[in-house]
Copies of this chain bind each other. A is one copy, B any other.
Amino acid sequence: MDRPASAGDDAGARFAPHHEPGRDDLAVTIKDVAREAGVSIATASRALHRSELVAPETRARVRETASRLHYTPHSGARSLITNRTHTIGVLLPDLYGEFFSEIMRGIDQTAHREGYQCILSSARHGGPTLEGALRAMRGRVDGLVLMSPEFTDELSRRTLPAGFPVVLLNCPPTDIPHDTLNIENYEGAYNMVRHLAGLGHRRIAILNGAAGNFDAAERLRGYRAALADAGLAPAPELEIAGDFSEAAGAAGARALLALAQRPTAIFAANDGMAIGAVSALREAGVAVPDEIAIGGFDDIPMARYIDPALSSVHVDISALGERATAVLLEVLRHPGHRSFTRATAATTLVVRQSCGARAAQPGLPVP
Contacts and interface: CB of A to CB of B under 8 A. Distances in A.
Contact of A119 (B118, B138, B139): B118
B119 A74 contact: no
Given A73-B139, A75-B139, A76-B76, A101 B96 contact: yes
Interface residues of A, number: 71
Interface string A122-145: 100000000001011111100000
Total identical chains: 2
A127 B120 CA distance: 23
A9 interface: no
Nearest to A306: B305
B76 A283 contact: no
Interface in A156-175: 157-158, 161-164
A292 interface: no
Nearest to A156: B22
A361 interface: no
Contacts of A26: 161-164
16 contacts: A22-B161, A22-B162, A72-B139, A74-B80, A76-B80, A76-B139, A76-B140, A87-B140, A95-B109, A101-B101, A104-B104, A112-B122, A118-B120, A247-B367, A306-B306, A306-B364
Q: Which 7 A-B pairs have the closest CB atoms?
A: A307-B307, A74-B139, A76-B76, A101-B101, A25-B161, A72-B138, A22-B162
Interface of A: 21-23, 25-26, 28, 70, 72-80, 85-87, 95-98, 100-101, 104-105, 108-109, 112, 117-122, 133, 135-140, 157-158, 161-164, 245-247, 249-250, 275-276, 278-280, 282-283, 301-302, 305-307, 363-367
